[in-house]
Structure 1
């Protein structure tokens, strides 16, 4: 039975990853969340499942101890192995997510947001991979997929003139590089480590926060500019995004190690 761990599975893309993976009775699915009791959507999914193949574990990506405890819990179920790790956790606090480098009230608040984002988006990915790596080494697939963002790539940021989303984009760029570092480190062991961009995904149905008028205006401007640089980059559903992600996870092999698989297809420059 293939085993999957989804880091950050309480809502949005993570929740849909768990749902689609758990549809197969052949899969054993582990989902980490910060708080079980408040993970309403995931709890509902587990309650409705007839296969009993979803295991929910509490872990905070900024606390490596909780991730190691989650890995130990997985090991008890799988006899010490794990086939696929999908790292989905990310910091996307609406109050700060769409701020640019000069949009903070003062430098202390800028520092706080950048450091908090770094802890989740960069160190969180490192701690998650490190915690589950002993299990992945004993697995049959040896696959790690880090859900990245084109907002962390220079080409997308420049073509879209995306000056806001500063802390998020900067730390997601660092996370993209973390995936490549693991790809280089684990290549001799036959691992496949990739970054995957999910696209511009509508996760509003399970969002904790609802965007205010200012954020909706920023998002509207973003969406309006996308057709100028891309042939396909439009708002898509979580279901469509995750179907693509899981298809990629299934099809990648060692020849894809170190890749960053983008969603956007850029228009050719005139």
Structure 2
């Protein structure tokens, strides 16, 4: 029986690897969104190389809920109105402005902080709402009824406190809100037999598909975060996973989840 997936945000990194691994099964059809399909060279290659030619790219910006609705309509026309699994991976991790790793006290001005938080909220929090809302009518007709948020331990209060992780403020706060979005949809859909959950892929080396190599400053900031996590959570491990390693574990969790697991947060690190 064919399984229909939608991966929201799959042009590079973890999302791209999710698409690649799902497409390896010829029984799967994978619909994947990117803000600019034509310029998403890594995604174009995955589409071309898929053994069963079962990857369908869709041009979508999660900030624009209308584009998600249009994409859902395209998928519905192709699948008879059904979708089995939605994996929301889109996230704002923009290093270009130098704000990605900042703590609440490290912004140049409160105006800069406000702007960063608002943009992060649009993508990381509202984006998840937009994608789930757009595809929910299809998921209701699917056989699996799974909604998965690709999340982060940096958005979980207990983990942030344990690691004393004061950096990545805008990303962490808005991903925390995204985890609450997951919980709200779980509460909304539990009586319909849905599985709604969040999964952290861990620290993953995605430089192979980044638009440009990380700068020395970015690498130093990343090391600063990793060192703090390892110091305060010694069993976490300081070696980044490859996308292949991480996604194999992510999809293992996705496939294992049942209705009893709805409203839960999982990490590939255990």
TM-score under structure 2 length normalisation: 0.95
Q: CA deviation at 1:100?
A: 1.2
CA offsets 1:139-176 (integer angstroms, 9 cap, x no match): 00000000011001122212222111000000000001
* Alpha-carbon contact 1:200-1:233 (below 8 Å) kept: no
Look up the match of 1:156.
Answer: 159
Moved more, 109-118 or 207-216: 207-216
Alignment of structure 1 residues 101-116 onto 2, 5 Å: 101-116=104-119
User: Residues 233, 174 of structure 1: CA spacing in aligned structure 2 closer, same or farther, 3 A cutoff?
Assistant: farther
Q: Distance in 2 between matches of 1:39 and 1:153?
A: 31
1:256 aligns with 2:261: yes
1:137 to 108, 115, 140: 140
Q: CA deviation at 1:52?
A: 1.2
Q: Distance in 2 between matches of 1:231 and 1:53?
A: 39
Alignment of structure 1 residues 165-204 onto 2, 5 Å: 165-204=168-207
Q: Distance in 1 between matches of 2:187 and 2:212?
A: 37
Q: Distance in 1 between matches of 2:99 and 2:226?
A: 19
* Alpha-carbon contact 1:80-1:135 (below 8 Å) kept: yes
* Alpha-carbon contact 1:233-1:263 (below 8 Å) kept: no
Look up the match of 1:268.
Answer: none
User: Residues 226, 109 of structure 1: CA spacing in aligned structure 2 closer, same or farther, 3 A cutoff?
Assistant: closer
The root-mean-square deviation of aligned C-alpha atoms, in Å, is: 1.2
Look up the match of 1:68.
Answer: 69
Q: Distance in 1 between matches of 2:227 and 2:93?
A: 21
2:235 to 210, 231, 234: 231
Look up the match of 1:92.
Answer: 93
Q: Secondary structure at the match of 2:6?
A: strand
Q: CA deviation at 1:211?
A: 2.3
Q: Distance in 1 between matches of 2:237 and 2:89?
A: 20
Q: Distance in 2 between matches of 1:173 and 1:49?
A: 34
Q: Distance in 2 between matches of 1:162 and 1:133?
A: 34
Count of residue correspondences: 265
Q: Secondary structure at the match of 1:6?
A: strand
TM-score under structure 1 length normalisation: 0.95
CA offsets 1:165-221 (integer angstroms, 9 cap, x no match): 000000000001100100000001000000001111110100124322222112112
- Give runs of ≥4 in structure 1 deviating > 6 Å: none
Q: CA deviation at 1:226?
A: 3.2
Q: Distance in 2 between matches of 1:225 and 1:102?
A: 17
Q: Secondary structure at the match of 2:147?
A: strand
Moved more, 103-112 or 119-128: 103-112
Q: CA deviation at 1:78?
A: 0.5
Structure 2 residue runs of 5 or longer lacking an equivalent are none
